[in-house]
Structure 1
Amino acid sequence: MQLTAHEKKILDIVKAHPEIVDNPEKRESVAKTYGLSEKTLRNRIAELKKRGLINLDTGRPQEEKKPLVTAHDEINLVAVWDTIKLKRRLITMISAVSTLTGLIYALVATIYFESTISMYPAGELGQNGGVLGEFQGLAKTFGVGGLGPAPTYNIPDIIDSRRLKKDIVLKNWKTAKFPQGSNLIKYWELDKEKLFSPRKWITRFLPKGNFSSNPQDKLAYEAILALDELISVKEEISGLITVSVLMQDPSLAANIANYIAEFVKEFISLEQQREASRNREFVENQKTEAKYQLEKSEELLTDFRKKHPIQLDTPEYQMIRSRLEYSVQENRAVYITLRQQYEISKIEEAKENLLVNMLDNAEPAVKKAKPQRTLIVILSFLGGFMIAVPVSLLLDRKEQ
């Protein structure tokens, strides 16, 4: 900033005698010493104050501000610190507003309680072998199709399914709010008109088209979206699966988590039972067909033996006899193998497999999980401070 010789002289006087800024008697004495009138000195000091050349707090001349970036393209931390001290009021105000906003949110935010369950696959759930693997090998050996790959069940995918979430939403749950039971649509009051709904106001002015959805389906859809945010699944490398449920009621959170565990076990069990029945039917059909082929080949061999006794065999008849005997042996081997597999498939269909092991069942939480008020307030303060510092640096540079 360019200063006249007279302005530089006034600044030097103030620097040597800072008390003249607020002390009229001292100002008059110093003005006479430098050959000035008290009024002239007072007016010049007031002008320099307006231009920001004299610090209003200390009464001393304002030092020249250092650049934030040095000639070597490095941040000048000293200049940054000086700016922070100079704009400390603005920084304090922004940080305080941010902290107060975070505190208000932490106090009015919905309180959630968390319940968790843990489980891990067991038995044949994670395997592709077993009886089904033998069936597949058997089908390939004899050129029989229709038997698909071994079923695999990914537990996180089952938990994330719309089918499970819809069951949870529409199921009646007993809570402290609704002792007689209610579904989540009623529990969350999604079926009630909201006093403040900007989205609804906006949609009034938009074209609706010819499409109209069932109100209950729409409410169920909204509830499923809300529930999706409250259920989390974590799968460890070891195979352990942890499911966490957040709800406003601790008992409701525990009940939903335990329901998820039962749903997973029942779903996998029913699917495995269905697959075992399908495999048993497949082997049974193949066994029936093999028995028919065996009986047919035996009848052909018997008829040939009656018509052509072995004593009258010619080389041509010996070849035909050999082929018929080989066909009987082959069909008998197929039938015996399928009969064994059929008995195994009946056992597999009848037995109950342990497919999911429950390590921990859910219990009602004794402490709230959200909101974490202390963390919210701390982060709000840090966020406000991080916003305030760049704003202060920008304003300070503009003032220059």
Structure 2
Amino acid sequence: MSENTEDLATRNSTLETRLSELETRNSNLETNLSLLATRNSQLATESISSDDSDEIDLAELWRAIWSGKWLIIAITFMFSVGSVFYALSLPDEYKSTVLLAPASSSSSSSLSKLAGQFGGLASLAGINLGGGGAEDKTVVAMEIMKTWGFLETFIIDNNIQVEVFAAEGWNRSSNTLVIDPEIYDVENKKWVREFNASRGQKLEPSSWELFEKFKGRVSVSQDKTTGLISLSVEYFSPEIAKQWADQLVKAINAHIQKQDREEAIKSIAYLNEKIQETNIADMQSVFYQLIEEQTKTLMLAEVSEEYVFKTLSPAKVAEEKAKPKRALIVILGLMLGGMLAVIIVLIRHFRKLAPVK
């Protein structure tokens, strides 16, 4: 009996110890829960204060902008007035456009057929028949019109150095160009511009200076869908813009025409020499056919005025200016002035708030 009593006492003691441990754990859990609740409350408070801080910052920015509204209005007004005067100071420019199509060439197509038939045989004799037709000439002509050499020759041949380099506007009432007197003396017909000899400049503008001035006035583009070419010229005088557009078309046609004529003459002479050098009947037949095609090319180059480009829609004298876009200039000036004014006001505001060191 005594042993059973001792066992029961021991078990009771163990149970009491475990109950005490459970109570301690419960107490710890309650403490942790209390800490978590406190932390959540702190986080919520910080979040609310952060939102309040953001709202205060936005409100502060608005107050800063509002307090500097007169400065913003003044700066914006100054920029607006300046952009108006700048837009009005720019001279009107007019655009004249001519629509072109590649001129068909039966000689080129025939030569392409010969290239397919006898290209390998002719290559044995060192002759390249090629395979390009009117499309190749069109691409070449478009690229030539953008080159320094072609535009320089065009300017010199048409004697338009003064119009290209010294003009600064157009008088509609008298239909005359306004020439900058600091660059060219119209009465004495001489150049009077200031130049920097150390940079290689001379009194008269160089061919490169003329090219740089003129190339921005000429644009050539091709519609990838239709293959039609648009040649546009922008200038102060609408009549001169039309005149230059027409002259450019004639000039590029004449340029390619002259090249093909010279090549045809050289090719015919070369082929005649090759005929004398070979006794192979097939080769002689190829050479005779090539001479025939080159003769057609030479004949076409002699008689055809629209050799590369055929005019579909001729250039017209523009009645409305192409640029400047004065309304757009004023709007951009207004926006730039407003943004700059706001930035200045905010910088001044935050510099006042910055602690003095």
Structure 1 length-normalised TM: 0.58
1:236-251 paired onto structure 2 within 5 Å? 236-238=223-225, 239-251=227-239
The equivalent residue for 1:228 is: 215
Letter in 2 for 1:155: A
The equivalent residue for 2:297 is: 348
TM-aligned CA distance change 1:138 to 1:237, over 3 Å? same
The equivalent residue for 1:360 is: 313
Instruction: Give distance in 1, aligned partners of 2:250 and 2:74.
Output: 53
- The answer to whether the 8 Å contact 1:139/1:145 transfers is no
TM-aligned CA distance change 1:160 to 1:343, over 3 Å? closer
Counterpart check, 1:262 vs 2:242: no
Q: 3-state SS of the aligned residue for 2:247?
A: helix
Q: Which moved more, 1:352-361 or 1:368-377?
A: 352-361
Letter in 2 for 1:105: Y
Instruction: Give distance in 2, aligned partners of 1:150 and 1:270.
Output: 20
- The answer to whether the 8 Å contact 1:119/1:356 transfers is yes
1:104 deviates by 0.7
The equivalent residue for 2:28 is: none
Instruction: Give distance in 1, aligned partners of 2:54 and 2:277.
Output: 86
Instruction: Give distance in 2, aligned partners of 1:111 and 1:88.
Output: 36
Counterpart check, 1:161 vs 2:142: no
The equivalent residue for 2:331 is: 378
Aligned-pair Cα RMSD in Å = 3.7
- The answer to whether the 8 Å contact 1:98/1:381 transfers is yes
- The one-character-per-residue Cα deviations of 1:225-272 (angstroms, maximum 9, x if unpaired) are 222222223333233322222212111111111111111222222223
Instruction: Give distance in 2, aligned partners of 1:107 and 1:242.
Output: 30
The answer for unaligned runs of 5 or more in structure 2 is 1-49, 168-178, 186-190
The equivalent residue for 1:140 is: 120
Instruction: Give distance in 2, aligned partners of 1:162 and 1:150.
Output: 28
Structure 1 moving runs of 4+ over 6 Å: 69-76
Instruction: Give distance in 2, aligned partners of 1:136 and 1:75.
Output: 81
Percent of pairs with identical residues: 20
TM-aligned CA distance change 1:90 to 1:148, over 3 Å? farther
TM-aligned CA distance change 1:71 to 1:150, over 3 Å? farther
The equivalent residue for 1:338 is: 287
- Residue 191 of structure 1 is aligned with which of 178, 184, 197? 184
1:43-82 paired onto structure 2 within 5 Å? 79-82=60-63
TM-aligned CA distance change 1:377 to 1:70, over 3 Å? farther
Structure 2 length-normalised TM: 0.64
Instruction: Give distance in 2, aligned partners of 1:395 and 1:259.
Output: 59
Letter in 2 for 1:349: L
Aligned residues: 274
- Residue 111 of structure 2 is aligned with which of 128, 131, 134? 131
Letter in 1 for 2:69: R
The equivalent residue for 2:91 is: 110
Letter in 1 for 2:216: E
Letter in 2 for 1:226: K
The answer for unaligned runs of 5 or more in structure 1 is 1-68, 174-180, 294-330
TM-aligned CA distance change 1:150 to 1:332, over 3 Å? closer
The equivalent residue for 2:275 is: 287
Letter in 1 for 2:209: E
1:167 deviates by 3.5
Higher helix share: 2
TM-aligned CA distance change 1:136 to 1:72, over 3 Å? farther
1:77 deviates by 5.6
Instruction: Give distance in 1, aligned partners of 2:277 and 2:228.
Output: 45
Q: 3-state SS of the aligned residue for 1:371?
A: coil
